[in-house]
Structure 1
Amino acid sequence: MEWKCFLSFIFLTVGLGTGEPSVRRYQPNWKSLDSRPLPGWYDESKFGIFIHWGVFSVPSFGSEWFWWNWKGRHLREYAEFMTKNYPPGFEYSEFAPEFTASFFNPDQWAELFEESGARYVVLTSKHHEGFTNWGSPVSWNWNSIETGPHRDLVGDLAAAVRKRQLHYGVYHSLFEWFNPLYLSDQRNKFKTQKFVMEKTLPELYDLVLRYKPDIIWSDGDWEAPDTYWNSTGFLAWLYNDSPVKSLLDTIAYGGNFLLNVGPTKDGTIPPIFEERLRGLGQWLRVNGEAIYASTPWRVQKENSSNIIWYTSKGSSVYAVFTKWPTDNTLKLDSPKTSPSTTVTMLGIPQPLKWKTSPTEGLLIFLSPLSPLTVPSKNGWTLKMEGVS
């Protein structure tokens, strides 16, 4: 794939994950950069947590695009929200002191994310509003050290996450909606690079050198070409010289599932989010064998009366289903059986009885089990050996 721009909704995995230094040097062109292999840890992780947290958490209305929807697009519902809740003339910058993070406990967050079964965490270091969640030296008075929390949110969470052996990454917006330097380059049809050289690149270098993230999600490139962002030059430096060089549909198709969490302005994660995250962790403790380090099977998903997702690992094939069959018999169309075929359910040691389907595939008898008594809820995994 040749990237026409920088990285829009694409993960750039920084660490090689092998523990061995790279002997290859990458050139500042897409052919060379695209040849870099995906780190093994990322391909095996399958599930991470993405955290949207910033000044937009104060109004907590709509989305993180609040400022743009209010002052850029002039959407009526945003204007009405401000009229109803804030005095005339209120500016977006006045939200920043209310972004206190006063109850932010990074160790509690990290414990929750670990319990969810996630293997990595990505924090918004800066969204398109320009406010940085660390003391960016080129974001004067518009960062979490000088206003609002008065603490290094990026660094505090990094330390807590890494204590639990989770990988840590940062999201960073390349552009800023209302930054005068960016707007000037925009008026010049991006023939000038004042914003890139004075804001974007210094921040990216600072994030890498200061926090050594395993992932950089760089976003917001769509208005300008990659030459404006100096994409290939930065990536070549990152790969060569930086100090860090050395769920069902998504998983079944070989992808990685990144679940978004939106904390409150004071740094708490709402109870309903926590409940869902811990529930997901409970499910993964039973069924994670079919998720972590898995690869797509020859059939990713079966569409029948009961949708089945398939993954594989070594000689094992896994079938995940979320609807318990009313007759306690699950029909799988895709696997081809052999005399050595065995079927078990993850969390249940005893093998299940099965027989070859009269048409194709196999019939698995779940009658000894009950969806109310099996170890996981809302989804069950069959492990098959000896199928092709």
Structure 2
Amino acid sequence: MLLLLLLLVAAAQAVALAPRRFTPDWQSLDSRPLPSWFDEAKFGVFVHWGVFSVPAWGSEWFWWHWKGDQMPAYQRFMTENYPPGFSYADFAPQFTARFFHPDQWAELFQAAGAKYVVLTTKHHEGFTNWPSPVSWNWNSKDVGPHRDLVGELGAAVRKRKIRYGLYHSLLEWFHPLYLLDKKNGFKTQHFVRAKTMPELYDLVKSYKPDLIWSDGEWECPDTYWNSTSFLAWLYNDSPVKDEVIVNDRWGQNCSCHHGGYYNCQDKYKPQSLPDHKWEMCTSVDRASWGYRRDMTMSTIAKENEIIEELVQTVSLGGNYLLNIGPTKDGLIVPIFQERLLAVGKWLQINGEAIYASKPWRVQSEKNKTVVWYTTKNATVYATFLYWPENGIVNLKSPKTTSATKITMLGLEGDLSWTQDPLEGVLISLPQLPPTVLPVEFAWTLKLTKVN
């Protein structure tokens, strides 16, 4: 009897210690806890790079706008700049990446304060930035750079302890097998079996990504893509099963409902605190994700706009993924570098209120300035966007105690403050010329011992 009891206890312990296995259905997959590194990271850099970087005009959807919906502006651009009969495939040899130095990119991303980097391994055009075994002569090893761009950048960012994410488009606009499946009402899966899934498995096994940023899901249900089977393997048996993060673009109606964290849609910006981890992805060039030669300053996000978006996103529990598009040669143009370095400079002073922070019980206040709150280790951070004319910030939400201290990140010494029964906490800002202030916009107050 005792032996039986011991065996039962041992069996129960074995079950308790055995890693949990996920089944290929959303109920099971959605119950997987998100590895903590992602929420702590807060800020990442997105990189859109591919054959679309050669025409570098209009947008990264160049091929579709030219041949898919046949937009007159794109057709005129081709007529005026390229010989008759020039095909999209003819752009590929010009995608040289000649000046791509992955260590320089990684140094820039590190200086920007990015904790993760997401590279397009394959956009909707189908060209792969690694030697995909199922993309013959339409990959960066066979044509163009003759290099494994995914592998090279991965090695460089990981040297600097930056997490590495891979963007991957499920669909390819003009792939014959995808077009065949579409003609069959997506009742067949020729493209998924021959192309999409082999590539996803290859990317995971070859590069062990920390994050998979899926896209191109919108035309078909997740059952067409076999998404749940892939994710069950990813979470149970893949080499990255414990650390990998995925987004929510795995089939029609998955966005904002299923997957890991939620993107919901491009440039998603909720107005109140969501109940699920999310990410805002946006681009320095507001009109395109890829580099384009027709870019003008009017579409470039200003430094203060980017930082305000970052602050708002983190206060509302999100991550901020900021995109730049390199040139066909592998250069990141100075305006993109400048914007990334501006974020890094701001984070050097204010990163304490951003990295590994959590949303506070109140997320924002608006009076004479706009204030966004975060919290970490019982400390409350209040980042205000506009310097009040009277030099006094009033915060209604924090409740002070006899031990409360208030400082400004980047400056030494305590700030003086009073508690007003109607106005809340009235904080006297330092009377300094703007050039002496630690940052040019979005200043952070650090409040300890408040409720």
**Normalising TM by the smaller chain, what interval?**
over 0.9
For 2:432, give the aligned amino acid: L
Structure-to-structure mapping, 1:108-123, within 5 angstroms: 108-123=104-119
Query: Quick check: 2:415–2:430 contact (8 Å CA) kept in 1?
Result: no
Superposition pairs of residues 341-380 of structure 1, within 5 angstroms: 341-380=404-443
Partner SS state of residue 122, structure 1: strand
Query: CA separation in 1, counterparts of 2:419 and 2:18?
Result: 50
More RCO (CA 8 Å, sep 6+): 1
Instruction: Give a deviation string over 1:333-387, Cα, whole Å, max 9, x none.
Output: 2222222221100111200001113523211101443432122222210000122
Distance across 2 between alignment mates of 1:188 and 1:270: 44
- Quote the sequence identity (%): 65
Relative to 1, partners in 2 of residues 1:166 and 1:22: Cα closer, same or farther, differing over 3 Å? farther
Spell out structure 1 runs of 4+ moving beyond 6 A: none
The RMSD of aligned alpha carbons is 1.2
Partner of 1:320: 383
1:44 aligns with 2:40: yes
1:237 matched to 2:300: no
Q: Distance in 2 between matches of 1:179 and 1:150?
A: 22
Decide whether the 8 Å contact of 2:368 with 2:388 is kept in 1: no
Q: Distance in 2 between matches of 1:351 and 1:22?
A: 52
Map 1:135-214 onto structure 2 (within 5 A): 135-214=131-210
- Alignment of 1:306 with 2:302, yes or no, is no
Post-superposition Cα deviations, 1:141-197, rounded to whole Å, max 9, x if no partner, equal: 000001010000000000001000100010000000000100100111111000000
Asked whether the 8 Å contact 1:131–1:143 carries over to 2, the reply is yes
Q: Which amino acid is 1:196 matched to?
A: V
Pair 1:23 & 2:19 matched: yes
C-alpha separation in 2, matches of 1:274 and 1:223: 35
Q: What secondary structure is seen at the aligned counterpart in 1 of 2:344?
A: helix
Q: 2:394 touches 2:423 (CA, 8 Å); kept in 1? A: no
Show structure 2 runs of 5+ residues with no match.
Answer: 1-16, 243-309
Quote the residue 1:128 is aligned against.
Answer: 124
Q: Distance in 2 between matches of 1:129 and 1:201?
A: 17
Matched-pair contact (CA < 8 Å) for 1:337–1:361: no
In structure 1, the gaps of 5 or more residues are 1-20
Q: For 2:61, which of 62, 65, 72 is the aligned residue?
A: 65
Q: Is the 8 A contact 2:103 2:157 kept in 1?
A: yes
Q: Once the two structures are superposed, what CA deviation does each residue of 1:112-149 show, in whole Å capped at 9, x if it has no partner? A: 00010000100000000000000000001000001010
Over residues 288-335 of structure 1, what are the superposed CA-to-partner deviations in whole Å (9 max), with x where a residue is unaligned?
A: 000000000111121223111110112110011121111111122222
How high is the TM-score relative to the length of structure 2?
Answer: 0.80
How far residue 86 of structure 1 moved from its aligned partner, in angstroms, is 1.3
Do the aligned residues in 1 keep the contact of 2:315 with 2:372 (CA within 8 Å)? Answer: yes
Tell me if the contact between 1:49 and 1:260 (Cα under 8 Å) persists in the aligned partners.
Answer: yes
Residues 322 and 378 of structure 1 are in contact (CA less than 8 Å); yes or no, is this contact kept in structure 2? Answer: yes
Between the aligned partners of 1:22 and 1:207, the Cα distance in structure 2 is: 27
Q: Find out whether 1:271 has 2:334 as its counterpart.
A: yes
2:218 is matched with which residue? 222
Q: Of 323, 343, 348, which aligns to 1:285?
A: 348
Closer/same/farther in 2, CA of residues 22 and 92 from structure 1, 3 Å limit: farther
- Deviation for aligned residue 1:43: 0.7
Partner in structure 2 of residue 256 of structure 1: 319
What is the identity, as a one-letter code, of the residue corresponding to 2:35?
Answer: P
Q: 1:121 is paired with a residue of what secondary structure? A: strand
Aligned residue pairs total: 368
Corresponding residue for 1:5?
none
Of the structure 1 ranges 41-50 and 352-361, higher mean CA displacement relative to structure 2 is found in 352-361
Contact 1:329 1:366 in 2 (8 A): yes
Q: For residue 224 of structure 1, report the CA deviation from its aligned partner.
A: 0.9
Give distance in 2, aligned partners of 1:22 and 1:196: 32
